[in-house]
Chains A and B, each alone.
Chain A
Amino acid sequence: MVRGGAWRRRLSTAGFYALAAVFMLPTIFVFYWMLTLSLKPQIEATAYPPSFVRFTVTLAGYREVFTKYPFFLYTWNSLVVATGCTLLGLAVGLPAAYSIARWKQQRLAVVILVARIIPGIAYLIPWYIFFRSLRMVDTYGALILTHLIVGLPIIIWVMISFFEDVPSDLEDAALIDGCSQLGVFWRIALPLVKPGVVATAILSFVFSWNNFLFSVILAGRQTRTLPIAVYNMISYEEINWGTLAAAATLITLPVLVVALLAQRHIVTGLTFGAVKQ
């Protein structure tokens, strides 16, 4: 019996890793391909049959990314805007999600969703006029506020589900003990929904990081963000594959780091065992 169990376990572990590999294959392949593109000279980038492992390695792509563009400035700008928009989103979004979950304020939730539903193009001209009149074009403020439109709805809506799962007995118990509503929110509800907070923070950060449309219109030379650097690899008569892939690879790195650090907080097997039956 024991032996059978051990074999089965080993098989299931092997099976698990095999399955995981299958699922991850498309992801890994495309990124591997992008990585090789960033290291290949232009002539080999479009060569056929494609070369997977044996090719001339060149760092020209990366070099060009750093010399042609103020890449560090762009990265810094993207970081400031994404972090600012995520923090602001969490600061206003978490209480809102809690309230909507606790007191069933569906209509407010829909109002917030509307921001995400409006086609991005419809924002361009009115926002430009709006921010220009406030002299906020080419400022972090304008970018953070507008990127919020993409991040805040998802923070709120996903967190509503998580807050709904917090048992009300727990909160009522705390209120009876004299805790304020804010205290209940901060000390009871919030810790229990940590996985959700992490997931939505990652999403908000990523969406802001990749946002191109708003940045083209509202960012100026000082606040230009990373996606624009990628776009600029496309010129009138050629697509600079090496530099494009290098830029694309470099752009994913900071977010990877952020996600890796945050992932540790999505813990399995969180229990609600604090409630005394």
Chain B
Amino acid sequence: MGAPRLSRRTFLQAVTAGVAAGPFVWTPARAQGFTWKRFQGKELFLLLTKHPFIEVLEKHIPEFESLSGMKVKWETLPEIQARQKMTVEMTANSGGIDAFFTSLHVEKKRFWKAGWYHPLNKFLADASLTSPEFDWNDFTPGARAGVTQPDGSISALAAFVDANVFFYRKDLFGAKGLTPPKTLAELEPLVKKLHAPPATYGIVLRGLKNANATQYPSILFPMGGTYLKDGKAALDSKEQAAALEMYTSLLRQYGPPGVVNFNWYECSASFMQGQVAIYMDGVNFASQFEDAAKSKVVGKVGYAVLPSGPGGHFSPIYITGMAVSSQSTSKEAAYLFTQWATSKTNMVRELMAGVGVGRSSTWDSAEVKAKPKMPADWYQAYQASLKIGRQGLPEIVGVTEYRDIIGVAIQKGIEGAPAAQVLAQAQKDFQDLLNRTEG
């Protein structure tokens, strides 16, 4: 290919040593030898999830096909069905999937332990496989950490980073002369002032178990609570009880009826129909709020960073990425696809469509600034949230089970059970889970 084989081998050895030694350090490699058409003629099969990032990506896949000369077949399914199909195929050792879209906040450690991710470190270091413009360092530190396993192996290329923000009705706030709360202490009185049933409910948050576990850290973290401490369950701390109490009492008193089983669609439907004043959830729902065909509150929604608390200022973030299957028979070719999907060009397209990405440069790109799809405060809130981003869920194998455990505790709390009691049970179950599945 041009580069003398000897020097490339020694380079790879050096990098491998570096990987074994600690977190991956990107060293710019010699820019020769890379070509998109290297695996011309090969066929790839992708398993993708129904997700706004993928919706934009799918439209441009033919561009990749002409760029690389490869044929790409893919299947897009809702997240749970996609994971089900993945499980069946990987368990059956089918080798039928080359690359897939992975929700790291659910799958990171689980898939790693099952050996389903193919580590991308070697590929990233290989100049002949990685385009010189790729620039791994362009990804935010949070995004990079999110896709890296404890042993340094990189399981996926970060695509979409979801941050939690504070949605509020500018018009209702303005009418009462209110501004978004800077701290959690300000939150409750604010919600109370806005609560005017049945026309308006003060606040809506997810109540449905498992689903609520990704929004709960919006209150848990600022209250100083956390899920793990030194690898042990930390659900019985004072801070945790205070956080659960706040989350559940807000919903009990100021949430719409039935909120205990609200998933994002009930929450966002209530918000978009103008029934709720405040909603805290993933930044992604915003594109619907501003769509006149779907929302009655177009132009009335304000976006702010989540309030801080005694424990600090955080926004729970969740990362999804493009990964290569360890059972693929065309791993390098699949890697080319994942690389293209998370390239600077593609990320700009995503952000222009209103989908937040894990690359820093994208946010400052001229194209995005020229044609903003979302209101200015959305970009501000999103970027600011990424800066205070913190992984919302524990990076453990049994994370789904953890979500069910804390999720049920929250639901019981919403229906009136005392926080300390439900947390005691949750703590027991969680520690039991850790004993069983970690280590």
Report which A residues bind B (CB closer than 8 A): 41-43, 46-48, 124-125, 128-129, 132, 137, 216-217, 220-221, 228, 231-232, 234-239
Contact = CB atoms under 8 A, between A and B. Distances in A.
Nearest to A43: B294
A156 to B, nearest CB: 29
Contact of A132 (B49, B92, B296): B92
Contacts of A43: 272, 292-296
A234 B78 contact: yes
Query: Could you say which interface size class chain B belongs to?
Result: 35 or more
B78 A232 contact: yes
A220 to B, nearest CB: 8
Given A132-B94, A216-B81, 11 more contacts: A41-B293, A42-B291, A124-B84, A124-B88, A128-B94, A235-B55, A235-B78, A237-B52, A237-B284, A237-B287, A238-B265
B242 interface: no
B78 A46 contact: no
Interface string B41-85: 000000001111001000000000000000001011111010011
B173 interface: no
Contacts of B388: none
B265 A239 contact: yes
Contacts of A231: 77-78, 81
Given A128-B89, A236-B50, A237-B284, A221 B75 contact: yes
B273 interface: yes
B363 interface: no
Contacts, number: 77
B91 interface: yes
A47 B88 CA distance: 40
Given A236-B49, A237-B264, A237-B284, A46 B77 contact: no
Nearest to B95: A132
17 contacts: A41-B294, A42-B293, A46-B269, A46-B272, A46-B273, A47-B296, A125-B92, A128-B92, A129-B92, A221-B75, A231-B77, A231-B78, A232-B77, A236-B50, A237-B282, A238-B285, A238-B294
Given A41-B293, A125-B91, A235 B272 contact: no
B164 interface: no
Contacts of A235: 50-52, 55, 78
A216 B77 contact: yes
Interface string B294-331: 11100000000000000000000000000000000000
B88 A217 contact: yes
A48 B52 contact: no
B23 to A, nearest CB: 30
B391 interface: no
Contacts of B77: 216, 228, 231-232
Interface string B113-157: 000000000000000000000000000000000000000000000
A37 to B, nearest CB: 13
A260 B268 CA distance: 40
Contacts of B269: 46
